[in-house]
Structures are given as structure tokens and as C-alpha cells.
Amino acid sequence: MYTELNSILNTTPDSFTQGGFILVSDRHSDASFLIHHFLSFYLRARCRVCFLGLVQSFSHYSAISQRLGVSLAQAKEKGQLIFFEGLKESLSVLIPQEASTASQAVDFLRDPTVGLRSLYEFVRSSLSSFGGGEEVTDGAEEWGSPVLLVDDLSVLLSLGLSVGAVLDFTHYCRATVCSQLQGNMVMLVRCDGQEEEDSGDEGSERLLKGLTHQCSLSLHVQGLPTGYCRDIHGQVEVCWRRRQGDGPHTQKKLFQYKVHDKGASFFARGTSSAVL
């Protein structure tokens, strides 16, 4: 968990906004350090977390979280963390002899046209089951608001799903997690290509634009315009999106950052405000 980033976002594990959708994106850089931050942040906040890990194994996330002072294994044992290991589930479909053990949540691998309904049902059932005022018995711990983390949505496009199907998935997740359950969502999208005003290209750029209209806070990580620097790893644009009486407003702040083994440093480079 990065204390400097918490200060920038004006949040702590004891006091944070509920019902928000945080969009993390990167271009020619790696924003995964922010996913690790939010994972440790919400676990420290005693939230019930559903993590769709689509790009790395559980052991990968566990090793990094350990350096940040959080044990994912203990969180799973206590029922605080529900971890969906996308790589393992995908192998159950792609390797014939293990197909019978595959989760229904990855039905889209068998037929991309079915969309992500089953994956959404997995998220809904995982996070809805703890709430609704259910009684806590036999020493079971009571957790706070639910959180959905996804690392990363771009993988779904490479598996044959359309941008529309992924946006439908995020829309329904936001309606359930953020609106109905008053929880939070954090999702990562990677944009490897150049920004283009292309028409009809169902790629990560179009997905990013669609998600930008849904989110309440976005953090976009990219390399330095001047190129490689040993002391600065890149820059991140933080954009708050709020609705006011005369319409939606955005406020942007630009920071440079450096990732350490157990944290990250952020350096303010300028601020700007705009009205959409």
C-alpha cells in the first residue's frame, strides 16, 4: 500500500469513498503496481474482495502482496478474498483431459459469442453472498463493503470477445457492485498501440474510451515523454470525474513516479481542471 498515493487520492483504509469505479490504464508502461496497491489497500480496509486475476497466478500476486505487508493466503482462508485464477481456469478448458473440471465462469473460452454472463454471475454471487444483513456465526468475521478487482480486461479481447461484450460486463458489474451493494471496482486496461481516431477497430483503445465514460476516477500510467530515466519510471495522470449541478466535471493532476521494492514515490508536476 502506497501512503503517498493515498494522500493524493485523499483516502485511507479507515476512510474511503464507496460506490466508485476506479479505472487503471497504461500505455508503453506497466500500471500493475497500482493493482497491487489497491489489492493491499482494500484488504487492509477489511473489505470483501473478489479478484479476477486474468494475467498472473495466485502465487505471483501473493509474493508481491507479502512485500506490501498483506498475506493473500490468510485472506483467502478467512473468506475475505475470493481469487479467480484465470490462467488455471483457462487451462482446464484448453487442455481436453481437464475440460470437465473447468469453471462455468470461463464458458466464453468455448464460445466467445456467449459473452461474459457466466463470469458476471460468478462476481455477483461471490460479492452478494456476504451482504444483505446475513448473520455472522461460529466466530466468522464480518467484512466491510465489497470490492471487485480485475487484472486485466484487455486479455478478454485477445481471447476473442468483442469490446461491446466487455463493456456490457463492466456495466452490469458496476450496477451490482457500486450501485446495489455500495462497493467499489478497480479494473486495469492496457493500451499498447498509439492513440488513434480509428472507426470500427474493436481494440483496447475503444475499450478504454468506453470505460472512461463509466468510471469516477481514472489513473493513466505512461512512459516519460523524454524517454528512459533511471530515477523516474514514468508518469501517471489522475482524473476525478464528478457530476455537479451544471453537468459532469473533471479535475486532472499529473505526477511522476518511481516504484520501489516495497512502495512507490510520486512527484507532482502540474494540475489542470476542465469541464466536459
Pairwise CA distance, residues 50 & 146, whole Å: 8
Domains of the chain: 3-130+140-193+204-275 (3.40.50.300)
pLDDT number for residue 89: 83
Q: CB-based burial of residue 170 (10 Å sphere; 0-12 exposed, 13-18 middle, 19+ buried)?
A: buried
Task: Please name which of 79, 77, 83 lies closest in space to residue 48, comparing C-alpha atoms.
Answer: 79
Cα angle: 219, vertex 31, 41; to 5 degrees:
75
Name the pTM for this structure.
Answer: 0.87
Stretches where the chain sits below pLDDT 70 are: 1, 96-102, 130-140, 193-202, 228, 243-248, 269-276
Look at phi and psi of residue 125 and say left if phi exceeds 0, alpha if psi is from -120 to 50, else beta. Answer: alpha
pLDDT number for residue 1: 62
Pairwise CA distance, residues 224 & 257, whole Å: 10
173, 9 Cβ separation under 8 angstroms: no
Q: Would strands 48-53 and 234-244 be described as parallel, antiparallel, or unpaired?
A: unpaired
pLDDT number for residue 224: 83
47, 120 Cβ separation under 8 angstroms: no
